[in-house]
Amino acid sequence: MNRTVVALGMFDGVHTGHRTLLKRAAALAHENGDLAVAFTYDNHPKELFSGAFSYLCTKEQRDALILAAGCDRVDSIPFDAAFAAMAPEAFPDWLNARYGGTVAAIVVGFDYRFGAKAAGDVTLLGSLCEKRGIRLEVIDEVKVDGKPCASTEIRSAIREGDVERAERMLERPYTLCGTVVHAKALGRRFDRPTANLDAGAQILPGDGVYATFLFFDGTRYDAVTNVGMNPTVGGRTRTAETHVIGERLDLYGKRVCVAFLKRLRDEKKFETKELLFRQIDADVTEAKKVCETRKKSVYNSEPLC
């Protein structure tokens, strides 16, 4: 019977630090012919206590990225009140029982917390694992650009519009995935149609105009995306609207992904719609240059949507 090595974490975004942890769990398992499982949650714990939460990826993206990092399986459960109330001392036995008593090792990050009120830390977990004959490996803090690589840091960079810094921590462009919904269709009337993306619970980048790739039906398209209120046309809600360069695609109701490559400029209010669309033409020219330079370094087919 194969034993199990369990990687613990929320893994939102599956950034460089997460990937280091997941790869170590996979290596530790596979060198002994064991199974590498990532144990995680369907929802972020903060949702239970604070309500809405802004994610770095969809659950489907996360699970696919975890498997791509080398784990054999993703096991996720709802983070609910009953689980949140579990005593820290009970967690290792609960986890081992979940895998039929086969847990041989656990891999966590240096700041992992568990149990009621997040009272358990890696020191306590190490003591509990030692008593049960379970190996514990703790992954040290991973830094990118001399700063901690953490989901909170990535969210901060994205909110500031610094998608290039976010990409260095994610090891891939930040990508919104969702369904294209109807908007005012003003762009279509001016022969510059845009796809208004409903990205659900994913965090929107800071207001501005970005060079992007749009992925649809297995094909990558050069694009330019505006995030913000669309002040020139009296917008009242923040949106992410993408213009696919040189193509007319019927995307309403379709699922697409938009990868953010570079922030081009601030969002601004123009005196007329004509001036706005003149600027859009300039944005398209600049975005095409960025897209051309990135085509060999960014995934060529539809990303993990």
| Domain map (residue ranges) of the chain | 4-147, 174-294
Q: How far apart are CA 148 and CA 160, in angstroms?
A: 17
Q: What is the pLDDT of residue 189?
A: 47
Backbone angles phi, psi at 89, to 5 degrees: -65, -20
Average pLDDT of the segment spanning 130-157: 97
CB atoms inside a 10 Å sphere around CB 1: 6
Least confident of 81-85, 211-215, 298-302: 298-302
Average pLDDT of the segment spanning 11-36: 97
Give me the chain's average pLDDT, please. 92
Q: How far apart are CA 289 and CA 158, in angstroms?
A: 22
Q: How far apart are CA 199 and CA 120, in angstroms?
A: 34
Domains 4-147 and 174-294 agree in fold:
no
Average pLDDT of the segment spanning 46-54: 90
| CA-based max dimension of the chain | 72
Say if residues 223 and 286 touch (Cβ distance below 8 Å).
no
Q: How far apart are CA 194 and CA 256, in angstroms?
A: 13
Rg, the chain, Cα only? 22
- Say yes or no to pLDDT of 236 above 90: no
- Say yes or no to pLDDT of 155 above 60: yes
Q: How far apart are CA 185 and CA 190, in angstroms?
A: 9
Average pLDDT of the segment spanning 228-248: 79
Least confident of 39-43, 56-60, 185-189, 199-203: 185-189
Q: What is the pLDDT of residue 183?
A: 67
Say if residues 161 and 206 touch (Cβ distance below 8 Å).
yes
**Architecture of the domain made up of 174-294:** Beta Barrel (2.40)
Q: How far apart are CA 181 and CA 129, in angstroms?
A: 49
The C-alpha angle with vertex 105 and arms to 99 and 110, in degrees rounded to 5, equals 120
Average pLDDT of the segment spanning 33-51: 94
- Report the interhelical angle of 122-131 vs 91-98 (nearest 10°): 60
| Overall fold of domain 4-147 | Rossmann fold (3.40.50)
Share of the chain above pLDDT 70, in %: 92
Q: In this structure, are strands 174-181 and 219-228 parallel, antiparallel, or unpaired?
A: unpaired
Say if residues 125 and 96 touch (Cβ distance below 8 Å).
no
- For 6, the token pair is 């369990």
- Say yes or no to pLDDT of 86 above 50: yes
Q: How far apart are CA 217 and CA 256, in angstroms?
A: 8
Alpha helix segments (H runs only) across the chain: 16-30, 45-50, 59-68, 81-84, 91-98, 122-131, 151-159, 163-170, 186-189, 273-294
What's the predicted TM-score (pTM) here? 0.91
Beta-carbon contacts of residue 41 (< 8 Å; ≥ 6 apart)? 10, 76, 77, 78, 79
Q: What is the pLDDT of residue 304?
A: 56
63 versus 232: the higher-pLDDT residue is 63
- For 126, the token pair is 């190490």
To the nearest 5 percent, what fractions of the chain are helix, strand and coil? 35, 30, 40
- Say yes or no to pLDDT of 14 above 90: yes
- Say yes or no to pLDDT of 221 above 80: yes
